[in-house]
Amino acid sequence: MNISQRLNRLPASPLLIKVVIIAGLGLMFDAMDQGIVAGVMASITEEWALTDLQRSLLGSSGILGMLLGALVAGIAADRWGRRTIVLVTLLIFSCGSLLCGLSPGYEWLLVFRFITGIGLGGELPVITTYVSEFSSLKNRGRNVVFVESFWAWGWILAALVALIFIPAFSWRAAFFVGALPAFFAAALRFLIPESPRYLEQRGRLAEAEAIVSKMERSVGVEPPVNGALPSTDVSAFGASTAEAGSQVNETSSQKSEQSSSPPQKLSPFECFVKLWSREYRQSTIVLWVLWFGINLGYYGFVLWTPSFLMAQGFEMVRSFEFTLYMSLAQLPGYLAAALLIEKIGRKRVLTHFLLGTACAAWLFGHASSEPFVLFSGCLLYFFALGAWGCVYSYTPELYPTTIRTTGAGAASAFGRVGAFIAPMLVPFMYGQFGSEHGFQLVFVLLTAVFVVVAVVIGIFGKETKGRVIPEIGQ
């Protein structure tokens, strides 16, 4: 029985819980940085008298950094390890945020936001893959969505930081505060080990064995002896765990074949080429469409929500208040996705949440009263962020360990192209059709994007719920 099979039969262990919480804290601090940028933009614009073009470039510099970071970090994590790259990207992100607070001028701030984006974009696909590889067959989807839910708390903290520190200490203090928790999270990362599935795939079996044996003993399961599963290993955990145990047993010939398979060590180029092999081409295309569409749709409204509301006649304070309520709606969205993803499957949850986002976008674009604006806006954030949680859970499950973070990073990088385009569509439509008609057309476009992505997933996506992903010999 190999490392992956042993992990798949385990309930939640203390080490797994620690991994999930520390990963979630890292994402929370990343999200806080994103929210802080939105909060400081007005203050920076006033202090440095920025034009609209300069403001757009400032936002785009971070997105371009995320694109590069996702691609490079995904490839690097398949070569040098998930934990190593998570630590590196988090430190890059922390240093970039600190340097933003020290920026002597606009041009330097552009550079430092690009550096911060590299760290942020690199960490996101790798950390969710890391959590997925620590999880068992029955809880990996739920665990990743739970980690992603920390993103909502990061935005809430960002609103508090902006409210407290910017009026009292200027926008620079907000960046300093945003950097400190990330350094703390980087220190916590040293308390968690490398992914045992990655270690197994790289031939570092003694290290992987030590980690998994510790997890097994912490939940009262004796490690197998010479590959054999003790009869008492699973019975204590009931029928569901026994079922998982039965899924991971193999015939003696299969064990012999797997144990003799040499670990694969592909070059970065070979990893990327393999994404487009006959076996994985369909999954790669579906993921790239999914990531591009959800980035285009999400960044098409989330960065502009206060501006949309003000253009519809709401005062600034009222628009920020509504935005806060909408952001809070993310939390039940993540919770619903986490509860459903292991019950009805990734494809169905993704398809339903994307269609729900499309309906909410249509309603928000045609809302004519204050209560309906708030209701449809909350629905929009509920479904959109629930879908995001599913995306991060679904992506690493479509590839084997040899190319898993390369695939996740490449899809994330392509998605950032959509994130880069989205903010430019809004002012273009407003300029062409005016604020009233432009507002409606923006959300008609977003509705269409979410529907197209839902159809692609529903027709061409592969279901990964309960699927044992081969780890060796791919």
Highest mean pLDDT among 16-30, 46-60, 254-268: 16-30
First-to-last alpha carbon distance for the chain, in angstroms, is 17
Of residues 345, 417, 361, 353, the one with CA closest to residue 388: 353
What predicted TM-score, i.e. pTM, was given to this entire model?
Answer: 0.82
Residue 243 pLDDT: 44
83-87, 125-129, 175-179, 318-322: range with lowest mean pLDDT:
318-322
Number of structural domains, the chain?
1
DSSP 3-state of 130: helix
Mean pLDDT of the chain: 83
**Buried/exposed code over 324-347 (b: 16+ C-beta within 10 A; e: otherwise):** eebbebbbbbbbbbbebbbeebbb
61 vs 288: which has the higher pLDDT: 288
Q: Could you give the percent of the chain with pLDDT greater than 90?
A: 46
Q: Is residue 236 included in any domain, yes or no?
A: no
Highest mean pLDDT among 170-179, 289-298, 308-317: 289-298
Please check the confidence at residue 245 and state whether its pLDDT lies above 80: no
Q: Is residue 218 included in any domain, yes or no?
A: no
Contacts with 307 (C-beta within 8 Å, 6 or more apart), sequence order:
319, 426
From residue 46, alpha-carbon distances to 43, 103, 419, 456 in Å are: 5, 16, 25, 44
Please check the confidence at residue 240 and state whether its pLDDT lies above 50: no
Contacts with 32 (C-beta within 8 Å, 6 or more apart), sequence order:
154, 155, 157, 158, 161, 178, 181
**Partners of residue 228 on adjacent β-strands:** 225
Confidence of residue 428 (pLDDT cuts 50, 70, 90): confident
Q: How far apart are CA 437 and CA 466, in angstroms?
A: 46
Q: How far apart are CA 126 and CA 162, in angstroms?
A: 29
Q: Which amino acid is at 118?
A: I
32-41, 83-92, 198-207: range with lowest mean pLDDT:
32-41
Residue 234 pLDDT: 42
Q: How far apart are CA 13 and CA 16, in angstroms?
A: 5
114-123, 194-203, 313-322: range with lowest mean pLDDT:
313-322
Q: Is residue 258 included in any domain, yes or no?
A: no
Residue 168 pLDDT: 76
Q: Is residue 222 included in any domain, yes or no?
A: no
Q: How far apart are CA 470 and CA 399, in angstroms?
A: 9
Q: How far apart are CA 406 and CA 403, in angstroms?
A: 5
Compute the average pLDDT of residues 44-49.
82
Residue 251 pLDDT: 35
Please check the confidence at residue 65 and state whether its pLDDT lies above 90: yes
| Cβ 56 vs Cβ 304: under 8 Å | no
Please check the confidence at residue 173 and state whether its pLDDT lies above 60: yes
DSSP 3-state of 121: helix
**4-7 contact pairs (CB < 8 A, 24+):** 4/197, 4/200, 4/248, 4/468, 4/469, 4/471, 5/248, 5/249, 5/250, 5/468, 6/212, 6/216, 6/223, 6/224, 6/248, 7/134, 7/135, 7/136, 7/196, 7/197, 7/212, 7/215
Q: pLDDT tens digits for 3-32?
A: 888 998 898 999 999 999 989 988 888 888
Please check the confidence at residue 252 and state whether its pLDDT lies above 70: no
Highest mean pLDDT among 55-64, 68-77, 324-333, 367-376: 68-77
Question: Tokens 């911060």 appear where?
Answer: 116
Q: What is the DSSP string of 275-316?
A: HTSTTTHHHHHHHHHHHHHHHHHHHHHTTTHHHHHHHTT--H
**Partners of residue 203 on adjacent β-strands:** none
Residue 242 pLDDT: 42
Q: Could you give the percent of the chain with pLDDT greater than 70?
A: 84
**207-212 contact pairs (CB < 8 A, 24+):** 208/3, 209/3, 211/15, 212/3, 212/6, 212/7
* Domain with 382 in it: 3-196+268-460
Contacts with 305 (C-beta within 8 Å, 6 or more apart), sequence order:
319, 322, 323, 326, 377
For residue 371, the tally of other CB atoms under 10 A from its CB is 8
What CATH number should be reported for the domain holding residue 402? 1.20.1250.20
Confidence of residue 286 (pLDDT cuts 50, 70, 90): very high
Please check the confidence at residue 362 and state whether its pLDDT lies above 50: yes
Q: Is residue 253 included in any domain, yes or no?
A: no
Question: Tokens 């040899």 appear where?
Answer: 402
Q: Is residue 473 included in any domain, yes or no?
A: no
Please check the confidence at residue 63 and state whether its pLDDT lies above 80: yes
Of residues 265, 263, 287, 259, the one with CA closest to residue 275: 287
Please check the confidence at residue 132 and state whether its pLDDT lies above 80: yes
For residue 289, the tally of other CB atoms under 10 A from its CB is 20
Please check the confidence at residue 83 and state whether its pLDDT lies above 50: yes
Q: Is residue 467 included in any domain, yes or no?
A: no
Cα 87 → chain centroid: 16
Q: Is residue 262 included in any domain, yes or no?
A: no
Q: How far apart are CA 177 and CA 175, in angstroms?
A: 5
